[in-house]
Amino acid sequence: MRLITPLRAVAGWLEARTGLGAAVTPAATHPVPRRTASWWYVFGSATMTLFGLQIATGICLALVYVPAADQAYQSLQYLNDQAAFGAYLRAVHYWGSNLMVLVMTLHMLQVFLFGAYKYPRELTWIAGVFMLLCTLGMAFTGQILRWDQDAYWGLGIGASIAARAPVVGSTLVHLLLGGPIIAGRTLSRFFAVHVFVVPGILIALTGLHVWLVLRLGVNEWPMPGRVVDRETYRERYEADVHRDGVPFFPVAARKDMIAMGVVILAVLVCAAIFGPNGPHGVPDPTITDASPRPDFYFLSLFALLALLPPWTETVILLVGMPLAIVFLLALPLFAGTGEKSWRRRPVAVLSALLILLVVATFAALGVMSPWSPVMDAGTALATPVVYVQGRSPLELQGALVVQNKQCRNCHRLGGEGGSRGPALDGVATRLTRDQLIRQVLQGGGNMPAYGKNLAPAEVNALVAFLETLRPANQRPARTPVAARPVARAE
Amino acid sequence: MCANHDLLPPSPSSRRGFLFTLGVALSTVATALAGIPIIGYIFGPVRRSAGQAWIKLGPVAGFPEGHTRLATYENPFRVAWDGPTAKIACWVRRVGGEQFQVFAVNCAHLGCPVRWFPQSRLFMCPCHGGAYYEDGSRASGPPPRGLFEYDYEIRQGQLWVRGGQLPTLAGPV
């Protein structure tokens, strides 16, 4: 109790000199619409909190991390194994970035569904789209600073995408890599972008974003039928806030503060349970048995690039992606008025759901990546016993061909192997002997032709084995009667 | 404190007007001058894009006929701090005699490292499932073309290739 008086004196002295309290209090206590003191409105401040956590842990990591291609990997290992709290801080930075992308997406979704991007908050949304791009930029560059095999080949993918730009492709690649190839200058460049350039832009944009929220007011709870009209909106908003507003601090800020605490605790818990990510393998490009995978935010793009018809890829990457960004930026300019409530915007709600479903589906496919061959299937997977029991010597030779020619890199057998091609279990119920021979020799339907790589005896044995691959109660495939040559009619 | 006329730009003929104009002009010129080296520095890597040089891969005898082997070389444009990334790999196929094919390990689709499977005589990519025949031509999957192929020469029993830049669709080796 005795402490309070001197503390007050110090606070009074500071306030008399700086005047900061008088400057900040009106902003902190500005009135907001009563219903916006809601759990739906906490994602923005939660994202900002996570950004703050990223800055704090990022500065810590930069105290030890060496942004040089020959030592970055060792410095990460030092952080993981020796530095006090090094592994934990790396984990917090990694899980912080994951959660930041996630919570930012929730914020964006809430803003979209509540129509908050409409008049007069167009610029707040546009700044937000740039913040989304910057955050994804931070995610990509941060993944590169991990300077492992995923980073090296991730850069290769980035450069290969840039190279598809007409005319300036080569220039873009050299600009991105800081030279003709991925090497020391590349890492220094990405370090500068990750640590100075993008965070600087992000801090400035955050300032603008928050300033705009304070200046234009927190978006009111959308009511069906309450249509945004440029002539009357601001007057009605001011009147409502004055009639039935609550001070942001402490009434609305209570839930924000709880959400801030929750997201930080979530990051701390995830970091403690799951630990840091990588580094996975020295970034030595002569180690060709790498299987690069991106972090989760780019898994959907990774999947898209595997599944798109090849001829559409360049167009979708170089025209579709920029158009999607332009569409996001322009959204408040062409849909800036009208209904705000999601109950009266079925197209908006369905579009958001569709986009979410597509991204989530692609990301899930990216995790499974069924299009990737199982690169060690020929040596790592045993032929299931049921498929060799009671087989003739010729058929057993065929089973050896399946194993040795890496057929199972792309074809499953007994549930194990690649998913690039169809599973071989039951193949004899789908293809006749002639069709099997043709498929093996000529390939087609995404299968390479093995005509030059298999001796006739090997083909004979292989097909003999494949003909045994059908359930006992199912009949083998037969050539349709109409297609049978007349001379061979039985 | 300040009278209204202090906020207006002074008339250009007065001394204050001259100083104002001079201030704006000088700052503009200084900013432009500072910008030249900054822009030049950032775009520097583009100017030095002639990133190709002849590199010795090793004696021809090290590559048996009819086989495809991984060869590695050091980036001719390396800097002292490149570390493991100074190394570059390529697949060398000796067709027969002095006839070679030297392929980049980078998949023509999006640059992932392709692996050679001698038994099935295919190159396969772990990322998106591209596959190539032993002569580098596209077999299946998303690649828009065959593997990137290095220029090679044989000098005094040694195999040389021309490389040094990341092979992409914009700049094949």
pTM, two decimal places: 0.91
Q: Which residue has the tokens 């009208």?
A: A338
Using CB atoms, which residue from B119, B133, B164 is nearest to A181? B164
- List the 435-454 stretch of A: residues with Cβ below 8 A of B: 443, 446-450, 452-453
Q: A348 — contact with chain B (CB < 8 Å)?
A: no
- Give the pLDDT confidence score for residue B45 in this predicted structure: 85
Please give the residue of chain A at the shortest CA–CA distance from B116. A288
Cross-chain residue pair A180–B89, CB shorter than 8 Å:
no
Q: How far is B158 from chain A (nearest CA, A)?
A: 21
Cross-chain residue pair A443–B140, CB shorter than 8 Å:
yes
Phi, psi of A447 (to 5 degrees): -110, 135
Q: Which residue has the tokens 């991390």?
A: A65
- Give the pLDDT confidence score for residue A489 in this predicted structure: 44
- Give the pLDDT confidence score for residue A1 in this predicted structure: 57
Asked if A358 and A320 count as a contact pair (C-beta separation under 8 A), the reply is no
Q: Which residues of B touch A404 (CB under 8 A)?
A: 119
- List the 361-380 stretch of A: residues with Cβ below 8 A of B: 371-373, 375, 378
Residue numbers of chain A with a pLDDT score lower than 50: 489-490
Asked if B144 and B109 count as a contact pair (C-beta separation under 8 A), the reply is yes
- Give the pLDDT confidence score for residue B1 in this predicted structure: 46
Q: Which of B57, B114, B127, B165 to mutate to test the interface with A (most CBs of A within 10 A)?
A: B127
Q: A171 — contact with chain B (CB < 8 Å)?
A: yes
pLDDT in tens, A10-34: 999 999 999 999 999 999 999 999 9
Q: A193 — contact with chain B (CB < 8 Å)?
A: no
In angstroms, the CA B26 to CA A479 distance is 87
Cross-chain residue pair A292–B127, CB shorter than 8 Å:
yes
Q: How far is A157 from chain B (nearest CA, A)?
A: 5
Q: A184 — contact with chain B (CB < 8 Å)?
A: yes
- Give the pLDDT confidence score for residue A478 in this predicted structure: 84
The DSSP secondary-structure symbol of B124 reads E
Q: Which of B42, B55, B85 to mutate to test the interface with A (most CBs of A within 10 A)?
A: B85
Using CB atoms, which residue from B72, B114, B169 is nearest to A163? B169
Cross-chain residue pair A160–B169, CB shorter than 8 Å:
yes
Q: Which residues of B touch A407 (CB under 8 A)?
A: 120
Q: Which residue has the tokens 């990510």?
A: A277
- Give whole-number Cα distances, A54 to A67, A257, A275, in Å: 18, 18, 16
Using CB atoms, which residue from B70, B77, B171 is nearest to A173? B171
Q: Which residues of A touch B83 (CB under 8 A)?
A: 68-73, 184, 283
In angstroms, the CA A262 to CA A260 distance is 5
Cross-chain residue pair B119–A404, CB shorter than 8 Å:
yes
Angle formed at CA A146 by CA A373 and CA A300, multiple of 5 degrees: 45
Q: How far is B173 from chain A (nearest CA, A)?
A: 11
Whole-complex ipTM: 0.91
Instruction: State which fold the B53-163 domain adopts.
Output: Rieske Iron-sulfur Protein (2.102.10)
Cross-chain residue pair B45–A185, CB shorter than 8 Å:
yes
Q: Which residues of B touch A164 (CB under 8 A)?
A: 169-170
Q: Report domain extents, chain B.
A: 8-44, 53-163
pLDDT in tens, B41-92: 998 888 655 678 999 999 999 999 999 999 999 998 899 999 999 999 999 9
pLDDT in tens, B127-161: 999 999 999 999 999 999 999 999 999 999 999 99
Cross-chain residue pair A284–B77, CB shorter than 8 Å:
no
Cross-chain residue pair B84–A153, CB shorter than 8 Å:
no
Using CB atoms, which residue from A285, A310, A453 is nearest to B120? A453
Using CB atoms, which residue from A163, A178, A371 is nearest to B171? A163
In angstroms, the CA A326 to CA A129 distance is 10
Q: Which residues of B touch A406 (CB under 8 A)?
A: 117, 119-120, 122
Q: A285 — contact with chain B (CB < 8 Å)?
A: yes
Q: A424 CB contacts (<8 Å, ≥6 apart)?
A: A402, A407, A408, A411, A412, A413, A466, A469
Asked if A377 and A424 count as a contact pair (C-beta separation under 8 A), the reply is no
Cross-chain residue pair A164–B86, CB shorter than 8 Å:
no
Mean pLDDT for all residues in chain B = 90
Question: Exposed, middle or buried by CB within 10 Å (0-12, 13-18, 19+), for A360?
Answer: exposed
Q: Which residues of B touch A69 (CB under 8 A)?
A: 81-85
Asked if A421 and A446 count as a contact pair (C-beta separation under 8 A), the reply is yes
In angstroms, the CA A232 to CA A239 distance is 11
Spell out the domains of chain A, with CATH numbers in brackets. 29-368 (1.20.810.10), 377-488 (1.10.760.10)
Among the listed residues A121, A337, A135, the one whose alpha carbon sits nearest the alpha carbon of residue A210: A121
Q: Which residues of A touch B141 (CB under 8 A)?
A: 371, 446
